[in-house]
């Protein structure tokens, strides 16, 4: 099934804290970020076999994302989102990933600012 559509695994509302931003106060104190990730992979084999070894280990991906984000110190939300995508694509079963990173309170009068990116295996 070469032209088969890819399936999705969603990791929603991963609430973490990290250094993010360009202003002095943003560089001193960790801030909240809300992360949503859509992993795209062919899940037909695990759907057929019901075997954990045949599927994407989304718990491990979540742990890797948490570790990277909590240790990070980026200036731009765009860079944080790109780095999260890179971590996800380390698993070769994941063909594409969509990452949304929201930074609540980044703009006055707005609930949040959010960056959304999509990346794929090369």
Give residue-wise pLDDT tens across range 57-116.
999 999 999 999 999 999 999 999 999 999 999 999 999 999 999 999 888 899 999 999
Percent of the chain with pLDDT over 90: 91
Tracing tokens 């954990």 back to the chain, one arrives at: 52
Residues 6+ apart with CB under 8 A from 24: none
Tell me the C-alpha distance between 36 and 39, whole Å.
Answer: 10
**Cβ burial, residue 101 (10 Å; 0-12/13-18/19+):** buried
Whole-structure pTM value: 0.93
Residue 2 lies in a domain: no
Q: What is the pLDDT of residue 98?
A: 98
Indicate which CATH number applies to the domain containing 15: 3.30.1130.10
**Active site positions, annotated:** 103
**Strand spans (E) along the chain:** 7-20, 31-41, 73-74, 96-104, 112-120
Residue 1 lies in a domain: no
Residue 29 lies in a domain: yes
Range of the domain at 28: 7-120
pLDDT band at 1 (very low <50, low <70, confident <90, very high): very low
Residue 38 lies in a domain: yes
Q: Count structural domains, the chain.
A: 1
């Amino acid at each position: 099934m070469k032209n088969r559509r890819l399936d999705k695994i969603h990791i929603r509302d991963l609430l973490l804290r990290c250094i993010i931003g360009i202003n002095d106060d943003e560089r001193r104190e960790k801030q909240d970020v809300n992360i949503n990730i859509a992993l795209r992979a062919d899940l037909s084999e695990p759907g057929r076999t019901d075997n954990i070894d045949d599927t994407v280990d989304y718990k491990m991906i979540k742990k890797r994302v948490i570790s990277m984000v909590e240790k990070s110190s980026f200036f731009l939300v765009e860079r944080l989102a790109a780095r999260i995508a890179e971590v996800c694509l380390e698993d070769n079963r994941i063909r594409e990933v969509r990452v949304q990173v929201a930074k609540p309170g980044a703009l006055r009068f707005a609930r949040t600012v959010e960056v959304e990116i999509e990346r794929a295996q090369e």
